[in-house]
Amino acid sequence: MNIISNIALASITALVLSGCATQLVQYQEDKNLLSLKINDEKIKNIQFNNPYYTNNLGYCIQKDFIVSESGLSKYKGLIHVQHTQLKTECEWLGLPEGFVVQSIKKYTKADSIKRIKEEKIGQYIFSKFQTNKNNKKRTTYLIEIWGANQNTFIIDTKGDLYKDIKKDL
């Protein structure tokens, strides 16, 4: 009986870990194509035209890239994507979202930033932030996609991609 319990536990653990290890975000540099896993049957493709792109590797980094472009035909405003996937032997030291939120504040040169809405759907977290600069309020949209040892942040200044992905989920 104990052997059957151990086999069942090992099988369930392997199933959970393989589901968590699924690649949620991919970028094909040669095609300027970002692919987001919506669910097991659906992929959301975002075509970039002439993006800024960079990637980095390091001791703990398995995959890391930034892709950014303004004024895409389907999505107005700036779409900025930052993806980091750690190697399995490494772990986050702190919450990566805090760095992204402070970066939004820094790059918009805002006096303050405040989360005004947050909604979690599966492995997606949708947040709206209000920045205040010289008493002018502006909304910035943030999509976080999280998985085992990986985080992707998408900053959308107009909210078109934000709404489109929420609709697909």
- List the domains of the chain with CATH numbers: 49-168 (3.40.1000)
Average pLDDT of every residue of the chain: 85
For residue 47, pLDDT over 70 is answered with yes
What's the mean pLDDT in 100-115? Answer: 88
Higher pLDDT, 16 or 107: 107
What order of strands is seen across the sheet that includes strand 124-133? 52-55, 61-70, 78-86, 150-156, 136-147, 124-133, 112-121
- The token pair that represents 7 in the structure block: 């086999």
For 127-140, give the DSSP string: EEEEEEETTEEEEE
Listed range (11-15, 124-128, 165-169) with the worst mean pLDDT: 11-15
What's the mean pLDDT in 5-24? Answer: 48
Consecutive H or E run containing 86:
strand 78-86
Tell me the three-class secondary structure of 2-47, residue by residue.
HHHHHHHHHHHHHHHHHHHCCCCEEEECCCCEEEEECCCCCEEEEE
pLDDT score of 40 = 87
How far is residue 136's CA from residue 13's CA, in Å, rounded to a whole number? 50
For residue 2, pLDDT over 70 is answered with no
pLDDT score of 12 = 44
For residue 53, pLDDT over 50 is answered with yes
Residues, the chain, total?
169
Half-sphere exposure of 74 (CA within 13 A, CB side): 10
For residue 65, pLDDT over 70 is answered with yes
What's the mean pLDDT in 30-38? Answer: 96
pLDDT score of 3 = 57
Contact 48, 32 (CB under 8 A): yes
What's the mean pLDDT in 85-106? Answer: 81
Pairing of strands 61-70, 78-86: antiparallel
CA 168 and chain centroid, separation: 16
